[in-house]
Amino acid sequence: MTRHPGMPWPPQRAFRAPAAVIRGREFRWGERTFVMGIINVTPDSFSGDGLGADPDPAAAAALARRFEAEGADILDIGAESSRPGAEELDPAEELRRLLPSLRAVREATALPISVDTYHAAVAAAALDAGADAVNDIWGLRRDPEMAAVVARARGHLIAMHNQRGRTFRDVAGDIAAGFDATLEIAAAAGIPADRIILDPGFGFGWTPEQNLEMLRRLPEFWRFELPLLVGTSRKSTIGYILDAPVDQRLEGTAATVALAIAAGADIVRVHDVAAMRRVARVADAVVRANWRYHPPA
């Protein structure tokens, strides 16, 4: 395709979702990309970074402090693996793993924290223990009490479309339908739009080809006028493309992060915070034109 010299690239979002204030920090969507650091207090994380079935809270706190020093804007802590085929935890066991580490992380950093869970009971306890947001991989469509829990706590919601177990029709169409369903539930529960972030669900029920199509079609989700989170970090689609094990997917992750930013991602959820913070800064300089060179005096 030949591009006219005056044709804008990458395409620019024609709106700005309302800024969010999470734990006193302002997230002004559209000005730059925000980085979410992943803390897995699990024994079976696909990425090999889990802290075990009996995680040491001090290790979780140390990782949180490291991520903050490396430039993370928000932390995401979870106690149940969401990899394909993972065992579903009883909420009591999930809380046993989660709460000590969550409390330690909360004491270690002032960064906003989201808790990665789809169980309302776990979300309620985590919000009481210092979490600021719920990252629900089922987008309020699994536990019927989840929306009410988030609304009562005045928490923020990261709502994913999860394609697992659903009939496939069209990548962007299925995701959009999932978002519509989630937003209807959220509105009925009283969760305001300025507390919602949408995640199209890279790696959750899609083939590798469909995951790549999802990234290409991210601009189709701008119509929701809400911030978008994309989580490609170390995932199997990158491994298939590169024929690489999980510990050799850094460059592939970087490529998907940069391309997601070009297509409108507002938050990237990553394991390698320092490296992806640098990727996001360079991508933002191109996409958002928010950098100027200042030559030395």
Q: Annotated active-site positions, please?
A: 235, 269
State the sign of the Cα–Cα–Cα–Cα dihedral 115, 108, 194, 203. negative
CB 225 within 8 A of CB 273: no
Q: What single DSSP character describes residue 130?
A: T
Buried b / exposed e along 212-233 (16+ C-beta atoms within 10 A): bebbebbbbbbebebbbbbbbb
Alpha-carbon gap, residue 41 to 53, rounded angstroms:
7
CA distances to 168, 175, 199, 211 from 163, rounded to whole Å, are: 8, 8, 12, 11
H helices, E strands: number in the chain: 9, 10
State the sign of the Cα–Cα–Cα–Cα dihedral 287, 176, 80, 132. positive
Alpha-carbon gap, residue 17 to 222, rounded angstroms:
10
**In terms of Cα–Cα distance, which of 218, 232, 126 is closest to 179?**
218
CB 254 within 8 A of CB 275: yes
Residue 177 identity:
A
Who's near 216: CB < 8 A, 6+ residues apart?
Answer: 263
